[in-house]
Every structure is written in C-alpha cells, then in structure tokens.
Amino acid sequence: MDFSVPGSTADFRRELSATLSSPETRHLLNEVHRRADGMDGDVRDLYRHLGRAGILAPSWPIGHGGRGGDHTETVVLLEELIRHGVPQSLYYISVQIVGSLILQSGTADQKRDLLPRLASGDLTACILFTEPEHGSDLASVTTRAEREKDGPGWVLNGRKTYNLKSAYADIGLCAVRTDEGHSRYEGITLFVVPMDAPGVSVRGLASLADEQFHDIHLTDVRVGPEAVFGDPGGGWSLITRMFAAERSGLDYYVRARHWLELAAAGLAEQGPPTDDELVGLARHRARLDASRLLACRAMQNLAEDRPDISHASLAKWHCSETAQAISWWSLEALGSPVVDPDAAAVGPALEVAYREAPGMTISGGASEVLLDIITGARLLDDVETGSR
C-alpha cells in the first residue's frame, strides 16, 4: 500500500479550506444551524453552493461531474468538511454511497442522468433498506414490488424505517423483494424511487442524536422500468457491493478525529495535562492512525474496482468503535462538554458527539455482524490456504 499523499491532494486541501471559509459558505452554514432548531438542518442550499465550486465528487471522472482525482482527495474533503463544521451525512449518503454504486454498477443512462446532479448537489439520495423487523438480516426484506398489470412499470408496497436524511432526499435507493427465488439472496431488486412519487410518505422519528430517523410508507407507489437498478432479482450482489462503499469507515474516522482534536484543545485550556490524559490522548491518536489507514485502504480497493466486503467490515468496525471510545473518553477526561467555537449554534460539540456515538456501532452494519463477516472471511482464507 502506498502511504504517500500526492501533491495535488495538498493543493486540493488548500482550495477546500478557502471555499469552506468563504463568507458565502459561512453564511449558508449559519442558515442551516439557524433553521435546524436543535436537529439536523436542511443542507441542500449549502451543498448546491459547494457543488458549484466543484468540490463534492473529487475522485469521480470529469465526464460524470467529478475532478478525476484519487481517493485521497475524498479523504481530505471529508476531513475539511468536518473541520469547518459542515454536516456531512446527506453528502456522504448521496455521493459516497449511492453515487459510488451508480458509478460502479449503473447503466449508461443512469450515470448520465444521476451522477452530474449528485456531484453538483442538485440531487440528493437516501438509503431505504432497513425495515421494522429486518435490519442486519436484509435478505429477509418484505417490501414488495410487482409488475404493473397495465404497463411496463412496477408497483411498490411496504415500509422502511430508521433511514437518515429521507426528508431532504430527492431519490431513495430501495431494497425490495420482487421474486421468491431459490435462496433468500435471490429475488431482491434495487429501485431508485423518487421521494415525491404519489404513495411515498415520510415521517420523522425521534433519535438520541441530532440526526433524525425516518419511517417511510410505500403504498401502491408506481415507478417506471428505468427505476430498476441492476437486474431484476439480482439486487443482493449490488447490496454487497454498496456495503463495501458504505463501510469504508471514512465518515466515522473523520468525526472521531475532530472530536479528539476538540478534546485535546479543551484539556490544554484547563492547564498542563496529567499523565493519564497524555496516555489517553496518545492511545486514541494511535487508534485513529490505524482507522485512517484502514479507511484509506477500503477507499483504494473501491477506486481499483476491487470491493472487499471483509476488509470494509474491518474498517467500519475499527473506525466506529474508535469513534465511540473517543467520544466517551473525551467527556470523561474533560468533565464537562466543550463548546466548539465554529459550531456554537449547534451547542456543545462533544455533548452532541456523546449522543451520536451509540448509533455509530449500529449504522451501516452492527459491530457484532461485522465481526461475524470478518471472522468468517478469515476462516475461509485459512481453509483455502491450508493453514487450518
């Protein structure tokens, strides 16, 4: 693995810093916080502004709205968004998860239609996978789609829950059963559902964190044949592929790094750190370095079109467990929440982190399930190489 960062990435960081500190960006960010009323706000105006600056999809090909850069620029983008207090989850879901899947596996029409709009912030996406009874066990989804009796399209019925950002998303990538198949993994199809289609209802669900969950009812939702993503019935391989992008761990690592920086600054303000505090900081910095390398490798695998679900599971597990540990340690070490001066409007940043942390080891794959995948893959490797 190449640990060096290209010079172009350093240039990109400087460009990002200038764009994210500009008066217009700060004004739009303040507007997000002003309207958010304690919850996650509507960031779409801000994203459109950043999209016009051409920074949202650095590693995508230029023809699809990107800059033709490499994955290190995506890492730097996430680090700078967090450092400048820009809420990243709608961006991450739209561009880094749904967009990356379209880039890897979409049809030429889907790429042409969707990618430039996702990269410009004009189109946003959410993920509609989890159902009230099925989260980890996605192969059991019960939301159904049947072919229209009077046309070429499909009719969707069912319920999705615990998804983020659905109130601000234009499209939802929805996992649906279209056929019983020979195994549970066959007969699942992915659909790109317009969130304003008749029959889609979106209701907010309270959450411990500031990010709101949503409950989505799909009632006789009609979509055209172009809404099918991939082959009908062949959605499971796409879901697995998407997990390799969703589970890079990058979005967990960048938040954890920001929290540790805040904690270090807060401790420095309280006077010379104790030995215990220095040991704690060093331990968490070392874990963060490992998280960054694991996330970078997952991103590199994707960039080289070698999605590796077992490595991605390891990266997500490590980054999310590290982030959770840092959030808890930070508040304990400080004794009281620290106010992030750049995010004063959203309250004490580490208190927010403390409420966000429990969900991190559940979202995008619960830790127990990830460990199961990692150990399963390692055992298989051992069997194949004859060491077991």
Ligand X SMILES: Cc1cc2nc3c(=O)[nH]c(=O)nc-3n(C[C@H](O)[C@H](O)[C@H](O)COP(=O)(O)OP(=O)(O)OC[C@H]3O[C@@H](n4cnc5c(N)ncnc54)[C@H](O)[C@@H]3O)c2cc1C
Q: CB of residue 257 vs ligand X: minimum separation in angstroms?
A: 19
Token output for 107: 């049809």
Which of the stretches 149-157, 159-167, 285-293, 328-336 binds ligand X when contact is defined by CB under 6 A? 159-167
Number of residues that bind ligand X (CB under 6 A): 17
Kindly compute the dihedral angle of the four CA atoms of residues 377, 255, 59, 121, in this order, to the nearest 10 degrees.
Answer: 120
Q: With contact defined as beta carbons under 8 Å apart, do 170 and 123 qualify?
A: yes
Instruction: Choose between 9 and 161: whose C-beta lies nearer to ligand X.
Output: 161
Instruction: Choose between 93 and 119: whose C-beta lies nearer to ligand X.
Output: 93
Angle subtended at Cα 234 by Cα 110 and Cα 244, rounded to the nearest 5 degrees: 75
Name the residue with tokens 């960039």. Answer: 303
Which of the stretches 30-38, 101-109, 129-137, 300-308 binds ligand X when contact is defined by CB under 6 A? 129-137
Q: CB of residue 253 vs ligand X: minimum separation in angstroms?
A: 16
> Is residue 136 within the footprint of ligand X (CB under 6 A)?
yes
* Residue 60 to residue 46: CA distance in whole angstroms: 20
Q: CB within 8 A of 4, min separation 6: which ones?
A: none
Kindly compute the dihedral angle of the four CA atoms of residues 84, 86, 88, 91, in this order, to the nearest 10 degrees.
Answer: -120
Within 355-374, the residues that bind ligand X by CB under 6 A are 359, 362-363, 366, 368-369, 372
> Is residue 130 within the footprint of ligand X (CB under 6 A)?
yes
Within 161-180, the residues that bind ligand X by CB under 6 A are 162-164
Instruction: Choose between 53 and 362: whose C-beta lies nearer to ligand X.
Output: 362
Kindly compute the dihedral angle of the four CA atoms of residues 313, 47, 90, 73, in this order, to the nearest 10 degrees.
Answer: 0
Q: CB of residue 127 vs ligand X: minimum separation in angstroms?
A: 4
Name the residue with tokens 């916080």. Answer: 33
Q: CB of residue 92 vs ligand X: minimum separation in angstroms?
A: 10
Instruction: Choose between 132 and 151: whose C-beta lies nearer to ligand X.
Output: 132
Tell me the residue type at 377. A
Q: CB of residue 140 vs ligand X: minimum separation in angstroms?
A: 10
**Closest-approach residue to ligand X (CB):** 135
CA atoms within 13 A on the CB side of 219: 7
> Is residue 233 within the footprint of ligand X (CB under 6 A)?
no
> Is residue 129 within the footprint of ligand X (CB under 6 A)?
yes
Instruction: Choose between 9 and 189: whose C-beta lies nearer to ligand X.
Output: 189
Token output for 259: 């929290």
Biggest alpha carbon–alpha carbon distance for the chain: 74
Q: Pattern of binders to ligand X over 81-120, x per CB under 6 A?
A: ----------------------------------------
In terms of DSSP H, where are the helices of 209-270?
235-246, 250-269
> Is residue 377 within the footprint of ligand X (CB under 6 A)?
no
Sign of the dihedral through C-alpha 206, 211, 212, 215: negative
Q: In terms of C-beta density within 10 A (0-12 exposed, 13-18 middle, 19 or more buried), how is residue 353 classed?
A: buried
Q: CB of residue 152 vs ligand X: minimum separation in angstroms?
A: 27
> Is residue 135 within the footprint of ligand X (CB under 6 A)?
yes
Instruction: Choose between 13 and 318: whose C-beta lies nearer to ligand X.
Output: 318
Which of the stretches 160-168, 217-225, 300-308, 322-330 binds ligand X when contact is defined by CB under 6 A? 160-168
3-state secondary structure of 189: strand
Q: Pattern of binders to ligand X over 331-360, x per CB under 6 A?
A: ----------------------------x-
3-state secondary structure of 293: helix
The footprint of ligand X (CB under 6 A) covers 126-130, 135-136, 162-164, 359, 362-363, 366, 368-369, 372
